Amino acid sequence: MAIVLVFATIHHALAAEKSAVLVAAASAEFAAGPVPELIPLPASIKSDCGFGLLVERAEALNDDRMKELIQGGLTYTAAYRRIGKEHNYERIG
Amino acid sequence: MSGSVKRIDARGQPCPQPVIMTKKALDENGFETLEVLVDGPTAKENVSRFATHAGHAVEAIDGADGSSTIRIRVGKAAGTPGGAAPSPAASTTEAQADALCGASATTVFISSDKIGSGDDELGSLLMRGFLRTISESGERPARIILMNSGVKLALDESTALSSLRALAAASVEILACGTCLDFYKVKDKLAVGRVSNMLEISGFLLEGRTLSV
């Protein structure tokens, strides 16, 4: 289960990655997943930035709580839930 | 059939036939050693790489006439007394063998841990993104050569390590410049691929299509 956050600019995305890494390290709710990281966005997600923040999390953590946890004062422009392991995403916010 | 040897002659065969002939021979049982006769460095490299990835011990003996004999001891990979279990490459299909020689036989040459010059943070992100993208792509290179600070991408603390490991698992050869690892004093931190040298690297760069990143 993963969520991808899209930001207005690459500068926002880089700052968000740093913040998310710190948040994830301090949160048991993210312990089950890998470290959040910026990934190239698939063509299906429209973004000038080109990269999005991928955050994996435990099954028990719902999308709203997850977004609340990782936002950390940073504003993303869109959020997508990854469906399966392919580049299929569903917009959730 | 202890000690039995099977021999095949793949000289003059266009790529990827030597690999396909080797695979078909290995699929047959009843011998301990397979000797494949090839002519040319590409066939020698491809057959050796295929057999090594398939879990066999490989020794290449160069002949005076430019041909080579690749001696494959079935299931006797070095360091595994009982023989190694075949890797996923053991089930190489003809299409995959074809990729060793055809348009997909691209060498990606990476001479920095960043893409381009300018902002280092952006350059690192672009390199990470590039490796992740090709690791998830259906069109992978045959090998990736890492030189100068590019070797840092294959170290245990690298943020690109997962992508390089995925590529290695998909039979993309990862070669790291030994001189460069020594220079940066990080040889013991190499976490994916193998150490290579200028002779081998220059051979690959001159032999086929190279994409420099």
Segments making up each domain of chain B, as ranges: 5-99, 107-212
CB within 8 Å: B129 and A51: yes
Tokens 């953590």 — which residue?
A61
The token pair that represents B161 in the structure block: 């390590």
Segments making up each domain of chain A, as ranges: 2-91
**A23-43: pLDDT as tens digits:** 777 777 776 677 888 999 988
Quote the mean pLDDT of chain A. 80
Between β-strands A51-56 and B57-62, what pairing exists: parallel, antiparallel or unpaired?
unpaired
pTM: 0.64
Cβ-contact B152, B186 below 8 angstroms: yes
CATH topology for B107-212?
Hypothetical Protein Ychn; Chain: A, (3.40.1260)
For residue A40, the chain B residues in CB contact (below 8 A) are: 129, 132-133
Provide, rounded to the nearest whole percent, the portion of chain A with pLDDT above 90.
Answer: 5
d(CA B96, CA B93): 5
CA-angle at B122, arms to B119 and B126, nearest 5°: 135
**B20-64: pLDDT as tens digits:** 889 889 888 788 999 999 987 778 888 888 888 788 899 999 888
Which of residues A81 and A73 earns the better pLDDT score?
Answer: A81
d(CA B89, CA B22): 13
CATH superfamily of B5-99: TusA-like domain (3.30.110.40)
For residue B161, the chain A residues in CB contact (below 8 A) are: none
Cβ-contact B54, B89 below 8 angstroms: yes
CB within 8 Å: B128 and A14: no
Interface of A with B in 14-73 (CB under 8 A): 14, 37-40, 50-51
> How far is C-alpha B81 from the geometric centre of its chain's CA atoms?
23
Tokens 């006797």 — which residue?
B76
**B133-159: pLDDT as tens digits:** 999 887 889 899 999 999 999 999 999
Contacts of B205 (CB under 8 A, 6+ apart): B107, B109, B145
Query: What's B69's DSSP letter?
Result: E
Tokens 């890492």 — which residue?
B146
B129: nearest CA partner in chain A:
A40
pLDDT at residue B180 in the model: 94
Quote the mean pLDDT of chain B. 84
Q: Which residues of B touch A (CB under 8 A)?
A: 121-122, 125, 128-129, 132-133, 136, 159
Classify burial at B142, counting beta carbons within 10 Å of its beta carbon; exposed 0-12, middle 13-18, buried 19 or more. Answer: buried
Contacts of B66 (CB under 8 A, 6+ apart): B39, B40
Query: What residues does B7 pair with on adjacent strands?
Result: B35
CA quadruple B76, B80, B82, B83: dihedral positive or negative? negative
Q: How far is CA B136 from CA A33, A47, B132, in A?
A: 20, 20, 6
d(CA A33, CA B131): 21
Side-chain-side CA neighbours of B165 within 13 Å: the count stands at 10
Q: Does residue A73 come out as left (phi exceeding 0), alpha (psi in the -120 to 50 range) or beta?
A: left
Q: Given A14, A40, A87, which is nearest B121 (Cβ)?
A: A14
**B93-115: pLDDT as tens digits:** 555 565 565 545 789 999 999 99
CB within 8 Å: A37 and B122: no
ipTM: 0.75
Establish, for the pair of chains A and B, how many residue pairs have beta carbons separated by less than 8 Å: 19
**B119, B121, B124, B125: best to mutate for the A interface, most A CBs within 10 A:** B125
